[in-house]
Amino acid sequence: MQRYFVNPRQWDGDQILVEGDDVHHMTRVMRMRPGDRVVCCDGEGTDLLAVLEDVKGDRVLLRVLERTPSRGEPAVAVTVAQALPKGDKWEWVLQKGTELGAASFLPVLSDRSVVKLDGKKADKKRERWQKIIKEAAEQSHRGCVPPVQPVVDWDGLMQAFSVCDRVIFAYEKGGVPLNQALADGPFQSLMIVVGPEGGFTSEEAEQARTAGALPVSLGPRILRSETAPLALLSCILYSHGEMGGEPL
Amino acid sequence: MQRYFVNPRQWDGDQILVEGDDVHHMTRVMRMRPGDRVVCCDGEGTDLLAVLEDVKGDRVLLRVLERTPSRGEPAVAVTVAQALPKGDKWEWVLQKGTELGAASFLPVLSDRSVVKLDGKKADKKRERWQKIIKEAAEQSHRGCVPPVQPVVDWDGLMQAFSVCDRVIFAYEKGGVPLNQALADGPFQSLMIVVGPEGGFTSEEAEQARTAGALPVSLGPRILRSETAPLALLSCILYSHGEMGGEPL
């Protein structure tokens, strides 16, 4: 069934008033009519099964039939921190990372970054990124919309390490094997840090290690910068029993 | 160091003669000069460290300095069988699947497939797919170039099941959890089967089960058809000790 995130100001008791892009999606793309059902998600862990009651111009009125807990949120919160890759690769990471179960995204701009973003451009980009994530969260039955945090520089990244139980720093030049880095889990919160194309320098790896990150090897195959976070997310969620089954 | 696949007819003793697209890549893209070094891979498990000796028109002459076994081939052979998705999604699966360590790819066209391919078009497509895989194999340091098998229909897919130790059929409507499906490994050969957008029907799941596949759940989040094979590959290789470290 089609899913939409609604925000608390959109509902009143058992009635949900839908506005904006979702109206277009419901009435034009999905061609919904009164009587059709949708699932609305409050973004805080509850799914609301609802029936379409009325379409009034650019608004749709729904009535809630049933409330159930969302099943789509993993118990482990994984933040994907990544040196911003070029072009549409970052958008792929956002979309696929959301499907797989990332809790949030932290874009990093270092001195060596190819991508440049000033304040206004950064805000506009972030708006676009958040839209991609919202659509992926709806499609994949997530219970919340993972936030994209504001872009940080290298120092900002180091400071963010402290809020996670473990920081896994993808380092192709050597590190502990991934399964060893996860052996003392399950963790409540993890951060994965993925470098730009060409990987991190040995100085960056050393700084990250000093700041509390664990350099980790993903094996002998060299993954592209947009592939590494998706592989890491898959393995972490798998090892935490979030890809079907119990924790390993 | 830059890597290229060479084929046995290209070398004679310690000399390798490079022709075709790789010459353009070496001389124009990488701007290599005599004395520069590359790694050539014989596609059968040996890496050849070589030095560029001479550029003659559209040919490059290399001399082999050292032979070492390729490190990039996983011990488990995973075939990715997938109902052909639309647009560039299949090409992403080929590229990312090669980086992650897939052994081969099997495109499937079922009655419900949106994509249509006739004989001539199919050959041309397969040529393009193989080129994408070759580039990804070079970039990711694979020891061989995973083949794309000829497109099969649904019956052809069922017949292909018998050559693998285990066939994992991604089925969002229910199945054994992925870690349970891998618990009696490690396996020598696995096939993962991923459906079209919207997933497989219950009849298809039942037919696949009868033909020997194991319907498997990837957890509560619904992955897009291009995300599922990459998540499955990551988890299988991780569980087989191929993402750094020993088998679980």
CB B100 within 8 Å of CB B234: yes
Give me the amino acid identity at A39: V
Please enumerate residues of B whose Cβ is less than 8 A from a Cβ of A. 71-72, 92, 96, 99-101, 139-142, 175-180, 216-224, 227, 230-231, 234-235, 237-239, 241-246, 248
pLDDT at residue A1, rounded to an integer: 84
pLDDT mean over A209-224: 94
Residues of B in contact with A239 (CB under 8 A): 238
Short-list B78, B114, B108, CA closest to B197: B114
Listed as ranges, residues in chain B with pLDDT below 70 are 111-114, 245-248
3-class SS at A90? Answer: helix
The residue with tokens 């502990």 is: A176
Q: Where in chain A is the domain with CATH 3.40.1280.10?
A: 77-239
Distance from CA of B37 to the nearest CA of A (A): 18
One-letter amino acid of A152: V
Per-residue pLDDT of B11-51, as tens digits, reads 888 999 998 889 999 998 999 999 999 999 988 888 999 99
3-class DSSP state for residue B137? helix
Of B180, B234, B242, the CB nearest to A245: B180
Specify the CATH architecture of the domain B3-69.
Beta Barrel (2.40)
Choose between A101 and A69: higher pLDDT: A101
Question: ω before B186 within 30° of 0 (cis)?
Answer: yes
Give the pLDDT band of residue A54 (cuts 50, 70, 90): very high
In the predicted model, is pLDDT for residue A215 greater than 60? Answer: yes
Q: Which helix (H) or strand (E) holds A82?
A: strand A77-83
Residue range(s) occupied by CATH 2.40.240.20 in chain A: 3-69
Distance, in Å, from the CA atom of A28 to the CA atom of A37, rounded to the nearest integer, reads: 15
Of B167, B183, B156, which is closest to residue B216 (Cα–Cα)?
A: B167
Tell me the CB-side half-sphere exposure of residue B30, using CA atoms within 13 A.
Answer: 18
Q: Out of B99, B180, B248, name the one closest to residue A179 (CB).
A: B248
- C-alpha to C-alpha distance for A129 and A131, rounded to whole angstroms: 5
Average pLDDT over residues A60-86: 92
Of these ranges, A39-48, A77-86, B10-19, the one predicted with the greatest mean pLDDT is A77-86
B101 to chain A: closest CA residue: A221
Please count the other Cβ atoms lying within 10 Å of the Cβ belonging to residue A40. 24
For B70, half-sphere exposure in the C-beta direction (CA atoms, 13 angstrom radius) is 26
In this predicted structure, what is the pLDDT of residue B90? 95
Within its chain, how far is the Cα of A42 from the centroid? 17
**What is the DSSP track for A113-172?**
-S----HHHHHHHHHHHHHHHHHHHHHTT-SS-PPBPPPB-HHHHHHHGGGSSEEEEE-T
| Residue B202 confidence (pLDDT) | 87
> What average pLDDT does range A230-240 have in this prediction?
96
What is residue B148's DSSP assignment? Answer: B
| For testing contact with chain B, the best of A88, A133, A238, A246 (most B CBs within 10 A) | A238
Q: How many CA atoms lie within 13 A of A118 on its CB side?
A: 1
**What is the rounded CA–CA span in Å between residue A80 and residue A233?**
8
Residues A137-181 pLDDT 10s: 999 999 999 999 999 999 999 999 998 999 999 998 888 999 999
Residue (of B95, B97, B235) closest to B179 by Cα position: B235
Angle between helix B89-100 and helix B119-139 axes, rounded to 10 deg: 40
Query: Residue A111 — very low, low, confident or very high, per pLDDT cuts 50/70/90?
Result: low
Closest CA to B129 of B162, B70, B84: B84
What pLDDT is stored for residue A243 in this prediction?
87
Residue A85 has pLDDT above 60, yes or no: yes
The answer to whether B221 contacts A245, with C-beta atoms less than 8 Å apart, is: no
Query: Which of A177, A239, A244 is nearest residue B218 as measured by Cβ atoms?
Result: A244
The pLDDT value recorded for residue B72 is 86
pLDDT of residue A21: 86
Give which of A234, A236, A240 to mutate to test B binding, by max B Cβ within 10 Å.
A234
Given pLDDT bands bounded at 50, 70 and 90, which one contains residue A15? Answer: very high
| ipTM score for this prediction | 0.89
Chain B neighbors of A68, CB-CB under 8 A: none
pLDDT at A133 over 60: yes
pLDDT at position B94: 98
pLDDT value, residue B44 = 84
How is the beta sheet containing B214-217 ordered, strand by strand? Answer: B104-108, B77-83, B189-194, B166-170, B214-217, B176-177
Mean pLDDT of the region A188-217: 92
Structure tokens at A110: 């270092």
Task: Kindly state the DSSP code that residue B213 receives in the 8-state scheme.
Answer: -
Gap between the Cα atoms of B119 and B110, Å rounded: 15
The correct answer on CATH 3.40.1280.10 for the domain covering B77-239 is yes
Contact indicator for A54, A74 with CB cutoff of 8 Å = no
